[in-house]
Amino acid sequence: MGESPKFAQMIWQRLATSRLPRHRCVSDFTGLEKSATQEGQNETVKYRVFAGTWNLGGVAPPDDLDLEDWLDTKANFYDIYVLGFQEIVPLNARNMLGPKNRSAAMKWNSLIGDALNNRRRRQGREEAMSRCRKGATALHQEQDVFRCAMSKQMVGIFVSVWVRSRLRQHVRHPGVNHVGAGVLGRLGNKGAVSVRFLLHGTSFCFVCCHLASGGEEGDALLRNDDAASILSRTSFQGSGGAPAPQELPKNILDHDRVILLGDLNYRIAMDDAEARQLVKVKKWSMLLENDELLLELSKGRQFDGWHEGLVTFAPTYKYQPNSDRFYWCADGAATGRKNQPRAPAWCDRILWRGKGMRQIRYERCGGYRLSDHRPVRAVFHAVCDVAGAVGC
């Protein structure tokens, strides 16, 4: 398909990684698997972590919006859910400078809780009779309930972390930080909200970003600058005003397991007309040769040490409202002065870094047409050190 040798090599490495045998996960006791280690080594457990990102375009969700397909609750069990949103409210001056609009975040948390726990409620009713003889019904239902461990909003950026109730006691030292990188390099219309915690003896950090927009030449450098600013300015000093324990990392990159997700806004660096033709015939691999983020990852600049799963799905942006059509016409004509035609792109991405993590899924969820973006999800196996962890 015309791929460059360097790009083809990178794709082959990703394919080889994706074909590794999957680790076995045990769903009993919050889905973790204990690993027997050699004498003198720490005992470890493995959790399944779900990460999702969605730019909502400032559109409020309907009351009956069902998130179960995106969160994959009908088919699979996960232990931790980290959901990052961008533009949960319109990015206007009132929302940027006025009092925080918490109603949107509360609404999304309610929808998330419904999606995560509806299946458990149904199964609890179905299994009640079969388990009552063993006296295990209450315990089984409790360990399958998900609780919101932490959430944080900055203007339109919102992060919500949910864990199984039986796992909640092992999530310690939560911390949050937000960095504005929008207007004047400080306002919260762009930037990141970061959350972190210690799970057993392993530190996790999740960074939800909304980087600089624009598809013109040089705009990718603005996104690089935003990413560098977020990584350098984010600092965790403790929770509730209390100083963080000395053993806890203060900076994003010092955590053991890190996931960065969001509307990173990287576009396709090629002629717009040529990009249109490739989109029409769904030549995703040829488009991805010119994906700005993949080029950054291959060059090892702002994202040195970060990894991304193989992108095999259709572009996540930009779609017409309530439609699967991209926001430009077949003849290339503009759809209006306010909404100029934009070549599709993979704006919404999920990256990770740190040992002890393996990505097993990475995909777009095309059934949601609420905004001009499509949500993306990834699933990871994450290993945690439990030896000597306080409170375990």
CB count, 10 Å around CB of 122? 10
Confidence band of 247 (pLDDT split at 50, 70, 90):
confident
pLDDT of residue 392: 40
- What single-letter DSSP state applies at residue 30? H
Confidence of residue 308 (pLDDT cuts 50, 70, 90): very high
Does the predicted model carry a pTM greater than 0.75? yes
Q: Give dist(CA 111, CA 148) in Å, integer.
A: 12
User: What does R_g of the chain's alpha carbons equal in angstroms?
Assistant: 21
Instruction: Give the DSSP per-residue string, 164-206.
Output: ETTTGGGEEEEEEEEEE-SGGGTSTTSEEEEEEEEETTEEEEE
CB 58 within 8 A of CB 90: yes
pLDDT of residue 144: 74
Note the pLDDT of residue 273: 82
| Model confidence at 28: pLDDT above 90 | no
Least confident of 63-67, 156-160, 325-329, 353-357: 325-329
pLDDT band for position 271 (50/70/90)? confident
Span 193-216, average pLDDT: 96
Does the pLDDT at position 14 exceed 50? no
Minimal CA–CA distance to 240: which of 150, 155, 179? 150
- pLDDT, tens digit (0-9, with 9 covering 90-100), for 335-391: 444 555 678 999 999 999 999 999 999 999 999 999 999 999 999 999 999 865 544
Measure the CA–CA gap between 26 and 358, rounded to whole angstroms: 16
Predicted confidence at residue 345, as pLDDT, reads 95
**For residue range 127-153, what is the model confidence (pLDDT) as tens digits?**
555 555 555 544 444 457 999 999 999
Rounded average pLDDT over 70-90: 95
Residue 315's pLDDT is what?
A: 96
Give the CA distances from residue 230 to residues 210, 214, 348, 377, 380, in Å, rounded to whole numbers and listed in that order. Answer: 10, 19, 17, 22, 23
pLDDT at 246: 67
CA atoms of 229 and 180, how far apart (whole Å): 9
Confidence class for position 33, pLDDT limits 50, 70, 90: low
Q: CA-CA distance, 173 to 219, in Å (whole number)? A: 37
- Give the residue with greater pLDDT, 328 vs 101: 101
